[in-house]
Chain A
Amino acid sequence: MNFPTPIPLTQFAYAAAAAGALTVIAYLLKIRRRRFEVPFSTLWARVLEQRDANVLWRQLKRILSLLLMLAILFVVFFAALNPTVGGLPPSAKSVVILIDTSASMKTSDAKSQRQRDVDLMSDDEVEALIAEAQRRKKTPLRVPSEQAREFARAILRDETSTEGTRIAAAKDAAKGVIDSMGGADVAMIMRVDSQATPLSRFDSDGPMLRRVVDGLKASDTPADLHRALAAAADALHDRQNPMIILISDGAYTDQQLASVSWDDPATAGKPAEASAGSGSAAPVIRDEIAARRKSYEQRSLATVNLHGIDVRYVPVGTRADNVGIVAFNVRRYVSNKAAYEVFIEVENFGPNVAHRQLTLYNGDSAIDVQPITLEGWKEDADGNRTPGQKIRRIYPGLSGGTDHRLRASLRPVDGEGGSDPFPLDDEAFALLPDRKKQKVLLVTADNLYLEGAMLVYDNIEVFKITPEEYAAKPDEMLAEVHVVVFDDYTPPEIPPAPVHAIYFHPTGPSSPIKIAKEIAHPPRIDAIAEEHPVMRWVQLSDVNFDRSQVFALDKDRGEASLASTVRNVVIAAKREGGRKLLCFGFPLSGTDLTLRVAFPLLLVNSLDWFASDDADLVTTYATGARLRVPLDGVTGVTEAVVIGPDGRKVWAAVSESSASFVAAEIGFHEIKAYTPPAEGQIEVRVFPDADEEPLAMREIAANLSSPEESDIQPASELRLGGAAEALKAPEKFEVATKRQFWTLLLAGLLILLGIEWITYHRRITV
Chain B
Amino acid sequence: MPDYSRSGMAAQSLTGLPVQGKGRRGRKLATTQGAARAADRSKLFDEAFLKKLEYLHMVSRKVFTGNLRAERRTRKVGSGIEFADHRTYSRGDDFRYIDWNLYGRLDKLLLRLFEEEEDLYIYILVDCSDSMAIGNPLPKMHYAMQIGAALTYVGLANLDRVAIIPFSDHLIGRLPPARGKNRIFRVFDFLRTHEIGGKTQLAECMKDFVTQNKRRGLAVLISDFYDPQGFIDGINTLRYNRFEPFVMQTYDLREAKPHLHGDLSLVDCETGETREVTVSRALLEAYEREHEKYCKDLELFCTGRAVPFFRTHTQIPFDELVLKIFRSGGFLR
Contact = CB atoms under 8 A, between A and B. Distances in A.
Contact of A36 (B11, B224, B291): B11
B295 to A, nearest CB: 10
Contacts of B11: 34-37
B266 A36 contact: yes
Given A42-B228, A47-B283, A37 B4 contact: no
Interface in B222-281: 224, 226, 228, 255, 258, 260-271, 273-278, 280-281
Given A35-B265, A39-B269, A47 B290 contact: yes
Interface stretch (A25-33, A121-129, A534-542, A557-565): A25-33
B284 to A, nearest CB: 9
Nearest to A34: B264
Interface in B1-53: 4-8, 10-14, 19, 23, 29, 32, 34
B259 to A, nearest CB: 10
Nearest to B129: A39
A7 interface: no
A632 B224 CA distance: 99
A44 B12 contact: no
Contact of B278 (A36, A37, A42, A766): A766
A211 to B, nearest CB: 50
Interface string A35-69: 11111111111111011000000100000000000
B84 interface: no
B131 interface: yes
A763 interface: yes
B201 to A, nearest CB: 14
Interface size range on A against B: 20 to 34
B245 to A, nearest CB: 21
Contacts of A38: 13-14, 255, 258, 266-269
A35 B25 CA distance: 12
Contacts of B280: 763
Contacts of B64: none
A296 B124 CA distance: 112
B212 to A, nearest CB: 28
Contacts, number: 112
A698 to B, nearest CB: 69
Contacts of A48: 275, 277, 283
Nearest to A38: B266
Interface size range on B against A: 35 or more
Nearest to A41: B268
B157 to A, nearest CB: 34
A39 B290 contact: no
A29 B8 CA distance: 11
B6 A32 contact: yes
A39 B263 contact: no
A35 B286 contact: no
B190 interface: no
Interface string A185-229: 000000000000000000000000000000000000000000000
Given A44-B266, A47-B283, A39 B6 contact: no
A754 to B, nearest CB: 20
A32 B278 CA distance: 11
13 contacts: A29-B6, A32-B6, A34-B5, A34-B6, A34-B7, A34-B12, A36-B13, A36-B265, A37-B268, A39-B268, A40-B131, A44-B277, A48-B277
Given A37-B12, A37-B269, 16 more contacts: A33-B264, A34-B5, A34-B263, A35-B7, A35-B10, A36-B13, A36-B267, A37-B14, A37-B267, A38-B267, A39-B130, A39-B255, A41-B275, A48-B275, A50-B286, A763-B261
